[in-house]
């Protein structure tokens, strides 16, 4: 009988751990890579050179403006002289990518923290 209770408790614990692991939000680096950003942008010294190096983002962006840019980069870049100059320097302008709002928020936090 005691064994059964121990097994039952262990099972519940396992189920809880699994549930927590599955519902934990992905981290910023994972979203960055899964969204295809690293195809063009460098990360940790690796990745694409088809785009400007992401650095000093905090001095250029607020969380709100960066989110707006990520929703529609071409439209945003059209009104921004600095980004417009980049679009002429690199082979392809930053494309519009489908990113779920929750993942975009994670990305914004990551970019402003990871690339100070
Ligand atoms: C096809 C290549 C490409 C991909 C994929 C791409 N970018 Fe870009 N990105 C660019 C280019 C080129 C620019 C320069 C500005 C422009 O084109 O609008 C840029 C600009 C940026 C900037 C502004 C940099 C600055 O100096 O302020 C940020 C931030 C950025 N990208 C983040 C991302 C994120 C996050 C992703 C993934 C969701 C991503 N990019 C995917 C090419 C790309």
Cβ 83 under 6 angstroms from ligand 1: yes
Mutational test site, ligand 1, from 73, 78, 103, 114, max ligand atoms within 8 Å of CB? 73
Tell me if 32 sits within 8 A of 43, measured CB to CB. Answer: yes
User: Does residue 39 have its Cβ closer than 6 Å to ligand 1?
Assistant: yes
Whole-number pLDDT of residue 61? 97
Domain boundaries, position 73: 26-114
Looking up residue 88, the CATH number of its domain turns out to be 1.10.760.10
**Ranges in the chain, pLDDT < 50:** none
Distance, CA of 38 to CA of 114 (rounded, Å): 14
Q: Please tell me the predicted confidence (pLDDT) of residue 83.
A: 97
Decide: 71 in ligand 1 pocket, CB within 6 A.
no
Per the structure, the count of domains in the chain is 1
Q: Report yes or no on 51 lying in a domain.
A: yes
- The pLDDT assigned to 106 comes to 97
In Å, what is the CA distance from 98 to each residue of 21, 35, 73, 103, 104? 25, 8, 11, 10, 9
- How far, in Å, CA of 41 to CA of 37, rounded? 6
Q: Is residue 20 part of a domain?
A: no
pLDDT digits (tens, 9 = 90+) for 26-47: 999 999 999 999 999 998 777 7
Residue 60 belongs to some domain of the structure? yes
């Amino acid at each position: 009988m005691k064994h059964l209770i121990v097994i039952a408790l262990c099972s519940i614990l396992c189920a809880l751990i699994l549930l927590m692991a599955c519902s934990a939000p992905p981290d910023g680096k994972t979203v960055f890579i899964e969204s295809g950003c690293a195809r063009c942008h460098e990360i940790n010294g690796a990745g694409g050179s088809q785009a400007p190096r992401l650095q000093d983002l905090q001095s250029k962006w607020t969380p709100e403006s960066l989110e707006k840019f990520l929703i529609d980069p071409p439209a945003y870049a059209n009104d921004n002289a600095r980004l417009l100059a980049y679009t002429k320097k690199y082979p392809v302008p930053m494309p519009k990518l489908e990113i779920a709002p929750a993942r975009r928020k994670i990305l914004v936090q990551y970019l402003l923290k990871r690339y100070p």
